[in-house]
Amino acid sequence: MRRVKKRLSVNAARISAGAMLLASAAVAVALPAGAAAAGCSVNYAVSSQWQGGFGANVTITNLGDPVTSWTLTWSYSAGQRVAEAWNTTLTQNGAAVTARNVSYNGSIPTNGSTSFGFNGSWSGSNPAPTSFALNGVTCTGGTAPTAEPTTGPTTGPTNPPPTGPADITVNTATRYQTIDGFGAATPIWGGTWSTAETQTLVGLGANQLGLSIVRTGISPVSGEWSTQVNALRTAKSAGSGVKILASPWTAPAAWKTNNSRTNGGKLRTDYYDDYANHLNSYVQYMRNQGVTIDVTSVQNEPDWHPDYDSMDWSGTELRNFVRDHGARVQNTRLMVAEAVNLNYTYTDPTLNDATARNNIGYIGGHLYGTEASGRLRSYPLAEQHNKPVWMTEWNLHEADGNGSNIWGNPGNQAVWNETLDDIMRTVHRSMESNWSAYIWWYGKRYYSFIGDGEAAFGTTAGAPLKRGYAFSQYAKYVRPGYQRVALAKSTKAAPLEVTAYSGGGKTTLVILNRSTSAVNNAVIQVPQNITRAEHYLTSQSVNAASQPVSVNGGQVSVNVGARSISTVVLTP
């Protein structure tokens, strides 16, 4: 469903009770003379809307005395219901909604403002509230309506038409790696994603994150394989071109030298054929459940032997296994070796053996220590033999320090700094390194893409988190099959970290601005004239918010906010 953007007056007579879509509505309140001490102005904007649901942002501006603790109330006239919220505590009783400030918001000084947001549900219509009260004092009045484009913002008043030299020049004739996708893992031990959670993670709609790879575990106990069937089947049907990567942590204990699932131990050579049959049985089982396993790893972290499920391999042993037994695993492509820091000693032997090399489709590795070891770069031997490199796991959440309850607050600076400066930066670096995929650890966790509801960390189970919105700037718009293409930057654009992609008949750019200054009126030049331009931005204060774009032939002008990640999608 196309989302419609309009600016509507709060005058009830102008609100159609049968309106099916409302993309933004504003209420600005003016007080009568002599009432300035109790004055306030409220801007209520529906930032996105989809069938049955919407997201809203609310800004309160104080026109009277400083407010140290605030409560904002309003009523819905069409049965809307509020859901998860950020930067406020939100409750609803019938039609009446109450928003209270939280400690980190602080006070509202005279002529100062504070903002919060929430998601909600609607049916039939979604008119804006007609009045608000701040600390029990009613704000009355309204603004005249102003119309905005109903087909999405391709131009905006803050961007002059682009002219002159470009700041980012895209060269679609020079092409690099083909993108396989961006993803995250299901729970490896116990549990799974619900249908709704899976749809949020892989879907392409509003407040969905667009993951295109789902990583799952291969239990050594075949009776446990059914746990993830529904989530994997949903991912395949609810997403677009979603690939499944299956990774084993260990073989059955009886096949190993230490007779244990844990603490490493090697696979006995006389069980190599049984292990190949085990992997094949998993792939065929899932296939019979309607789930294609696109990629099957031989081993998760063969260079790590912790006190949980694990198994040791050397690079030579991995080569021998895939050379002599890899062909037994059918209807999938094998991957080696998912080493902790993409240690080449675990993959070079396979790549250097023609038979072993022909039995694999992918090279995998994790990001733990990879950058420090100098391997967050292209892998020439893999490229020589046309084996795509996938980054298949990384997990970082040091921002919480001693476990403080910060993850449910999307405006938390420590969380945003870690997301932008560590995680999004390494996604960018991985793309520049010609890697074809980037897969985060668990998709559902308090520090990940959707919340898990763990009370100590303040997230709502299944609700998108700030980190998820940031990652979606890649995942949702750079789709499987796109190719990274070359670009050049001007001095003005030097602070920006940019990658560009060609695919789906579009040119897509992902732009990181980790500097503390905005780069305004940045001109992007592409080879063809542009008929449609979209710009979405995530920062500490907004989530995948649509931004104005100005178009002139093959150039567009965008404002790249400080400390942000944004995506520009250009359609000729």
Checking 489-494 for CB contacts under 8 A at 24+ apart, the result is 489/167, 489/168, 489/169, 490/165, 490/166, 490/167, 490/168, 492/167, 492/519, 492/522, 493/167, 493/168, 493/519, 493/522
Question: ∠ at Cα 298 (286, 440), nearest 5°?
Answer: 80
Pairing label, strands 137-139, 181-185: unpaired
Contact of 300 with 338, CB cutoff 8 Å: yes
Predicted pLDDT of residue 45 = 84
Amino acid at 275: Y
Terminal Cα-to-Cα distance of the chain (whole angstroms): 22
Bridge partners of 50? Answer: 53
Amino acid identity for residue 85 in this structure: A
Q: How far apart (Å, rounded) are the C-alpha atoms in residues 414 and 398? A: 9
What's the whole-model pTM score? 0.75
**pLDDT score for 204:** 96
153, amino acid identity: P
Contact between 568 and 533 under an 8 Å Cβ cutoff? The reply is yes
Judged by phi (left if over 0) then psi (alpha if -120 to 50, else beta), residue 272 lies in alpha
Quote the pLDDT of residue 542: 94
Can you tell me the distance from the alpha carbon of 514 to that of 565, in angstroms, rounded to the nearest whole number? 8
Structure tokens at 354: 């023609």
Strand 295-297 and strand 333-339: the pairing is parallel
User: Which pLDDT score, from 0 to 100, does residue 153 have?
Assistant: 36
Phi, psi of 249 (to 5 degrees): -90, -25
Max distance between CA atoms of the chain, in angstroms, equals: 90
What is the per-residue pLDDT for 455? 82
Which residue has 């492509």 as its token pair?
333
Q: How far apart are CA 538 and CA 380, in angstroms?
A: 34
The Cα–Cα gap between 198 and 193 comes to 6
Q: What is the pLDDT of residue 402?
A: 65
Whole-number Å distance between alpha carbons of 343 and 562: 36
Give the pLDDT score at 36: 30
Beta strands in 123-198 (DSSP E): 132-134, 137-139, 168-178, 181-185
CA-to-CA dists, residue 248 to 13, 337, 351, 458, angstroms: 62, 11, 21, 32
Determine the residue type at 551: V
The answer to whether 59 touches 91, Cβ cutoff 8 Å, is no
Q: Are 295 and 246 in contact (CB under 8 A)?
A: yes
- Alpha carbon distance 217, 201 (integer Å): 18
- Give phi and psi for 499, each to the nearest 5: -125, 150
What DSSP element (H or E) covers 324? helix 315-325
pLDDT along the chain (572 residues), means of 10: 29 30 35 43 76 75 83 92 77 91 72 77 84 84 31 43 88 98 97 97 96 98 98 96 98 98 98 98 98 98 97 98 98 98 98 98 98 97 98 95 79 95 98 98 97 89 97 98 98 98 98 97 96 96 94 96 98 96
* Token pair belonging to 366: 């994790």
Among 409, 504, 502, 510, CA closest to 459: 409
Q: Please give the pLDDT value at position 403.
A: 63
Give pLDDT, residue 18: 32
Q: Where are the alpha helices (DSSP H) in 264-314?
A: 272-288
- 464, 200 in Cβ contact below 8 A? yes
> If DSSP codes are grouped into helix, strand and coil, which group holds residue 408?
coil
Take residue 510 and report the two structure tokens written for it: 């992902």
Q: CA-CA distance, 360 to 1, in Å (whole number)?
A: 41
- Distance from CA of residue 538 to its chain's centroid? 10
Q: How far apart are CA 267 and CA 246, in angstroms?
A: 19
Contact assessment for residue 454 and residue 407, using Cβ atoms and an 8 Å cutoff: no
Q: Please tell me the distance from the alpha carbon of residue 137 to that of residue 475, in angstroms, as a whole number.
A: 45
